[in-house]
Structure 1
Amino acid sequence: MKLRFLLIIFLACCALCCISATAITVQPATGVPTGDLAPGTRLAIDTTITEFRAGTGTTFPSTDTLQFYTDLDSPKWSISIVQNGVESPRPLTNSRTVRISGFELEYPSGTSGFDLKVRVSL
């Protein structure tokens, strides 16, 4: 009886420790130069993030954050969230780090015909 009780407590603790996972697909970036760059060289790098799938039944957990970072001087980020072909651009950002809250990316997953993308230009 005591062993059964301990086993139930152990299984309950294991169940509480389960972590939800999110899988996304990042398209290869275009405009990435090869080799060293001279200071002041202008760059235009673009990529798209697609196929958001969270283990929670949503496209992205609302409590998580999608973060982008660069070591470039004077970056200008252009980010758009695209839902079913409708583009919602965010204001241009001039910081090294850009974050998108999970609240902006959370939608029920598995909805027929629903498409979510994030377009990023630097």
Structure 2
Amino acid sequence: MIALVLAGAMLAAAPANAFSLSTAGASAYGSYDRMMSIPERPVPPIAVSGTLAVNRPGQCAVVQIAYNGPADGIAWRTLSGLCRPGKTNFRATSQLLWGGAEPPLRLCAGPTTRIAEQGRNCDVYRP
């Protein structure tokens, strides 16, 4: 019973803008914020910051954010990548997608960075 109460308290303490992704020996976590802008100093409306962690030797992982690709399609921009056990921080800003949608984030893993960037083994965060 005490464990359930503690787990509930920990879940309640997480901010609404937090994200957590995991796949194949890698994880990413951090914050996804909608920014306010003023005409005198415009800023991109989306700000993402977090940590990418690889937990398994021989594993590569990338964190990517969606953007408007050619012909109104979705493309993915790599924010950070790591190909050894350890952690690295990332920070990026982004525009909204067509129609005003907030761009999703994804964590993808593979034996190389290039294969991870192809998006075959991923976990996706949709705000």
Calculate the TM-score normalised by the size of structure 2. Answer: 0.36
More strand by percentage: 2
Q: Flag the structure with larger Rg.
A: 1
**RCO higher in structure (CA 8 A, sep ≥6):** 1
Calculate the TM-score normalised by the size of structure 1. Answer: 0.37
